[in-house]
Amino acid sequence: MSGAHSRTQSPRFGSLPTSALANLSTLASKTTRGLAFWLAVVFPLAYLPLLPGGIGSGELLSFLALLAGNVLALTLGHDHAR
């Protein structure tokens, strides 16, 4: 009984084949891009309630948060379905 064998055991996920990890990574990446793409499509609908009254000081923070979210979604989702 040598202690060397017990030290060479791989971590829990290290036993998965490399191709399975690559497939999981690809699936997560595609899902994130797809979700970000559709969020970028839907985000402009959230601007509509701000239009009739204009963007006052009370709505400025909401508008900037929506704008930042839209830019982030556009950036992450721009390669969807390519």
For residue 14 the two structure tokens come to 């290290």
Predicted pLDDT at 52: 85
Domain membership flag for residue 48 = yes
Which domain, by its residues, includes 54? 34-82
Domain membership flag for residue 8 = no
d(Cα 65, Cα 51) in Å, to the nearest integer? 15
Domain membership flag for residue 1 = no
* pTM for the model: 0.63
Domain membership flag for residue 53 = yes
Predicted pLDDT at 13: 58
Over its length of 82 residues, how does the chain's per-residue pLDDT go in tens digits?
A: 555 555 555 556 556 567 877 788 788 888 889 999 999 999 899 888 888 888 888 888 888 999 999 999 999 898 877 6
